[in-house]
Structure 1
Amino acid sequence: MITPRERVLGRIADHLCGRFPGHPVRVAVDGITASGKTTLARELTAAVVARGRSAAHLTMDGFHNPRAVRHRQGRDSADGYYLDAYDFGAFSQLVLEPLGPGGDLRYRERIIDLRSDTPLDEPPVTAPEDLVLVVDGSFLQRELEWDEVVFVDTPFEVARERGTRRDAELLGGLEQAERAFDQRYHAACRRYLEEVRPADRASVVVGNSDVASPALRRIGGPADAVVNLFSYGTLQTPSVQIEHFGRTLVGKEDVLPGYRQDWVTITDPAVIEVSGTDRHPIVRHTGDPADTTAGTMLEVTAAELAAADIYEVDDYRRALVRLDSGADAWVYLASNNLKTPPPFSRSPS
């Protein structure tokens, strides 16, 4: 049985695997210092690979400025950390642009060894076209453009306790670590939250106060996003909508071509209680235009899409499809039927 953390990471991985923008998917894992970005990024990369998609993980530690630049405003300066820590220009030129529209797919993994403060001139890596590149770091929405942003939302008091314990030896003791977090790292992060509002701009928000049971708060777009979700089953039911979304949804009838409907027996008591049955429909891709599935295209917020992700059991994975109407929509498909994405999704978005 999968853990709550594995389930949330799996839903985010499903979302990323459903993206085929015509170039590698460039994903930022953003958040305040010691929010849990690096751990989540590594686990998310592994979850994408487990779904059969190419993935790689980079950390912005490999794109720090040299120590002389990072500390030129003072070792304890919050402004120095906010403005001088990373070489965002080099990262954009050497990573984001080669992996973006029209790029040559050749990107650098790092330009500096942070511990020794030594510049590196390593050869570029050639990315597969379907790569999902997951990058963790701070301030990632200040200057850079991404295809997806996962914001790891952790309260300052929780992150401070984690970070000071983690960095006490590196920073010369617990007292010194607490001072560094208060005066430099988290002071800079407070400026970032105020100026950029990164949680509102992110396409995915994960509450990470409890690392064993993170909360998927939003997925599929920024705070004001509205996305299409095609339902052929219980999400069309007003009682299910009210239970999970707090309202009945706006929708219109549509058809999913090239998919055949089947049935699955649900064992999750909570899902059975809300839906009123343990027998739920499920669809599988056949590619045969004679196979069609009727349903409803619903308009949902990114927060409601996250709620739908948590409602659906692990027999289902979310993917992006094109409906008969020509609209693109997310849909929950059989989890063992996602090896080949629909052809339209490989074209530029």
Structure 2
Amino acid sequence: MITPRARVLGRIADHLTAQLPGRPLRVAVDGITAAGKTTLARELTAAVAARGRAAAHLSMDGFHNPRAVRHRQGRDSADGYYTDAYDFASFQLLVLDPLGPGGDRKYRERIIDLPSDTPIDEPPVEAPEDLVLVVDGSFLQRELVWDEVVFVDTPFEVAHERGTRRDTELLGGLDQARRAFEQRYHAASRRYLDEVGPAESATVVLGNEDVANPVLRRIGGPADAVVNLFSYGTLQTPSVQIEHFGRTLVGKEDVLPGYRQDWVTITDPAVVEVSGTDRHPIVRHTGDPADATSGTMLEVTAAELAAADIYEVDDYRRALVRLGSGADAWVYLAN
């Protein structure tokens, strides 16, 4: 049986793989120090690859500044960590620009070996056109340009416990690790939250306080985003909308061409209770212009799209489609 964490990560992976910009998709996994960014980035890369899309993972550890630059304001300096830890200019030039619009898709995987503090001059890697590149690191929205940003939202007290436990040996003992997180790492993270507001500008927000049961808080855009969601089933029902979105939604009739409607039996008791039935419609792509599915194009916030992702069972995956009206919209298709 799929775990709650795998289910949420699968929804994010569906969201990323649905996007085909004609070049690599550049995805940041952002958050405070010890939020769980690296673990999530690795899992998300694997989930994207499992869906048949080219995927690669990079860590900003490979784009640190040399130690002399990182520590020039003092080993315990929060300002030094915030401004001097990473070589963002090189990362933009060597990774994000080549994978962005008009780029040649040849990017570097690292420029430094962090443990030995040794510069590395490796040949670039050529990315396939459909690559999803997932990058984890700190302060990723301070200067860099991304296509998607996943913000890993973890409370400071939880991240502090994780980080000090993880880095006790590396930092020379538990007391030293606690001091480093309080005075340097998390002090810098608080400055980042205050100055940049990274959770508000991220396109995906994931609550990661309980790693086994993460919470998908927003997906599809920043905090003020409004997106189109095409529904041909129970999400058109006012009672379902009120239960999951807290309001009835604005919508207009539309049609999904090239898809034929079928039916699926739902076994999730919560979904059956809210919808009032265990028999739900589901659509499958045929490509036949004679096939069409009628429904409603709903306007939803990114937080409401996350709620819809949780409502829909695993028989469905979310995809981006062109409707009969010419509008682009998200829709839940047969998985």
| 2:114 alignment counterpart | 114
CA distance in structure 1 between the aligned counterparts of 2:12 and 2:31, rounded to whole angstroms: 16
In 1, the alpha carbon distance for the partners of 2:237 and 2:285 equals 24
Partner of 2:34: 34
- What is the aligned-residue RMSD (CA, Å)? 0.4
**CA-to-aligned-CA distance 1:61-91 (integer Å, 9 cap, x gap):** 0000000000000000000000000000000
* Counterpart residue type for residue 58 of structure 1: L
Distance 2:124 2:82 in 1: 28
Moved over 2 A (4+): none
Matches of 2:113 and 2:284 in 1, distance apart? 47
Matched residue, 2:124: 124
Counterpart CA distance in 2 for 1:311 and 1:16 is 19
How far residue 140 of structure 1 moved from its aligned partner, in angstroms, is: 0.1
Partner Cα distance (2:323, 2:258) in 1: 10
Matching residue's letter, 2:154: T
Tell me, in whole angstroms, the C-alpha distance in 1 between the residues paired with 2:330 and 2:237: 18
Supply the distance in 2 between the matched residues of 1:104 and 1:286 (Cα, whole angstroms).
35
Equivalence for 1:317: 317
What displacement does 1:21 show? 1.4
Counterparts of 1:125-140 in structure 2 under 5 Å? 125-140=125-140
**Alignment-mate amino acid for residue 133 of structure 2:** L
User: Within 1, Cα distance between the matches of 2:126 and 2:209?
Assistant: 36
Q: What displacement does 1:20 show?
A: 1.0
Instruction: Give the structure-1-normalised TM-score.
Output: 0.96
What is the one-letter code of the residue matched to 1:212? A
Are 2:243 and 1:227 equivalent residues in the alignment? no
2:320 & 2:202 partners in 1: Cα distance? Answer: 19
> Aligned-pair distance for 1:160?
0.3
The residue that corresponds to 1:46 in the other structure is 46
CA distance in 2, matches of 1:294, 1:61: 49
Consecutive unaligned residues of structure 1, counting only runs of 5 or more, are 336-349
2:288 counterpart SS class: coil
Shift of 1:135: 0.1
Counterpart Cα distance in 1 of 2:126 and 2:263:
42
C-alpha separation between the residues in 2 aligned to 1:130 and 1:40? 21
Alignment length (residue pairs) = 335
The residue correspondences of 1:78-157 to structure 2 (distance < 5 A) are 78-157=78-157
Secondary structure, aligned partner of 2:99: coil
The residue aligned with 1:338 is none
Per-residue CA deviations over 1:24-56 (Å, capped at 9, x if unaligned) read 110000000000000000000000011111100
Matched, 1:332 2:332: yes
Identity %: 87
Partner of 2:278: 278
Any idea what SS the aligned residue of 2:211 has? coil
Q: Distance in 2 between matches of 1:108 and 1:334?
A: 38
Cα deviation for residue 180 of structure 1 reads 0.3
Give the SS at the match of 1:104.
coil
Gap regions ≥5 residues in structure 2: none
Residues of 2 paired with 1:286 and 1:108: CA distance? 40
Q: Offset of 1:23 from its aligned partner?
A: 1.1
CA distance, structure 2, for counterparts of residue 95 and residue 290 of structure 1: 44
User: Which one-letter code corresponds to 1:13 in the other structure?
Assistant: A
CA distance in 1, matches of 2:214, 2:200: 18
